[in-house]
Structure 1
């Protein structure tokens, strides 16, 4: 039997608040848990349990030598967004682990970056009912002009917290 997930409980509770407050609270919690995300300024814009939308502003701390969002910051954005959606869908007694991150930088990025990660009902069911497993989380990363400068494949695994 699966155990309650405190992160999912928190997200469900704060999603009942006005959107601006919900975004702020989830972002603060996420930045507290993932310190590098706080340094780069990643923001949680939306989550409903099946989808998560994150933003990385093109700020100085996250820029490369040509003034756009650094490749590592884009990778962190995609990894954070997919990891969050996996994390809130796992039972509380499971540990999410990134297994594979395949990133192909195909175009130059302009401005702020946005990542949208989604899980299917079948993937969520699999995470809820199996002790160990993996899922390929669909994520799309776009820049301020709407182009997709980064093509990502993120495979997340999960294992029991205690062996």
Structure 2
């Protein structure tokens, strides 16, 4: 069965500005992510990439990208990757996140999320660790996260 999120992404990529439209649609569905104004630049099963610009609303008092903006970016790419990679019979929710701040985050940020284990259809729930790496303009890793996703079967709908 096709994945609706991935199908929408692929459909919008045929149009100029499709990645911006898709990113806005994701933020409409999950409004909190609009606070970092992300741009999803690549989405395929097992991988999601997004960028954010360094501007005042994501900055801290030191003039660097705020730690929580980096956490929001990590949760966004991990969630979109998971959603786009699962069969329609499965659902997910984040259960926890560990993070490492490795370097001052200045300038545009580029995040990549990939699963640590294959995503599978299952009759039972399972833990899915997702790794996220955020790099700055020069390609240096400024932030790493491990997000624990709980993946489980969707409940059957009543007739």
TM range (shorter): 0.7 to 0.9
> Could you tell me which residue of structure 2 aligns to residue 71 of structure 1?
67
**Mapped contact 1:94–1:131 kept (Cα < 8 A):** no
Cα distance 1:6–1:74, how it changes in 2: closer, same or farther (>3 A)?
Answer: same
TM-score (norm 2): 0.86
Q: How many residue pairs get matched? A: 156
Q: Is 1:144 aligned to 2:137, yes or no?
A: yes
User: Mean Cα displacement is larger for which, 86-95 or 28-37?
Assistant: 86-95
Aligned equivalents of 2:31, 2:141: Cα separation in 1: 26
**Residue in 1 aligned with 2:6?**
8
Shift of 1:24: 1.9
Q: How far does residue 74 in structure 1 lie from its aligned partner after superposition?
A: 0.1
Does residue 87 (structure 1) correspond to residue 83 (structure 2)? The answer is yes
- 1:54 corresponding residue in structure 2: 50
- Cα distance between partner residues in 1 of 2:71 and 2:105: 13
The separation in 2 between residues aligned to 1:59 and 1:93, in whole angstroms, is 39
Q: Cα deviations across residues 63-91 of structure 1 (Å, max 9, x unaligned)?
A: 11111111000001011101100011122
**Cα displacement (A) at 1:56:** 1.5
Cα deviation for residue 4 of structure 1 reads 5.0
User: Which residue in the other structure is 1:155 paired with?
Assistant: 148
CA RMSD of aligned residues (A): 2.1
* Structure 2 unaligned spans of 5+: none
- After TM superposition, list the pairs within 5 Å mapping 1:114-153 onto structure 2: 114-119=110-115, 123-124=118-119, 126=120, 128-153=121-146
Runs in 1 of length 4+ with deviation above 6 angstroms?
Answer: none
SS at match of 2:105: coil
1:107 counterpart = 2:103: yes
- Give the Cα separation in 1 of the matches to 2:40 and 2:10: 14
- 1:43 pairs with 2:39: yes
Instruction: Provide the C-alpha distance between the structure 2 equivalents of 1:25 and 1:131, rounded to a whole number of angstroms.
Output: 35
For structure 1, the 5+ residue unaligned runs are none
